[in-house]
């Protein structure tokens, strides 16, 4: 997960102004033998999502 500024095309798709801060999450799906089979980029508006990370020991 990383912070980005929305490009003009990304901003138009999600209804925000270009340059607005967004979160980009990149996920790779693997088969049981660790062969990658899926790549997904998810762009999140900063006013629609709240992410919480729990760290346990």
The strand pairing partners of 44, in sequence order, are: 23
End-to-end CA distance of the chain: 22
3-state secondary structure of 12: helix
3-state secondary structure of 10: helix
The DSSP output letter for 38 is E
pLDDT at 23: 92
Backbone torsion region of residue 33, taken as left when φ is above 0, otherwise alpha when ψ lies between -120 and 50, otherwise beta: alpha
pLDDT at 47: 86
Residues 5-36: pLDDT tens digits? 999 999 999 999 999 999 999 999 999 999 99
The tokens describing 40, both together, are 């997904």
The structure's pTM equals 0.72
């Amino acid at each position: 997960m990383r912070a980005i500024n929305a490009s003009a095309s990304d901003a138009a798709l999600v209804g925000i102004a270009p340059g607005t801060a967004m979160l980009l999450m990149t996920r790779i799906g693997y088969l049981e033998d660790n062969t990658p089979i899926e790549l997904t980029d998810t762009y999140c508006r900063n006013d629609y999502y709240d992410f919480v990370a729990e760290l346990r020991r």
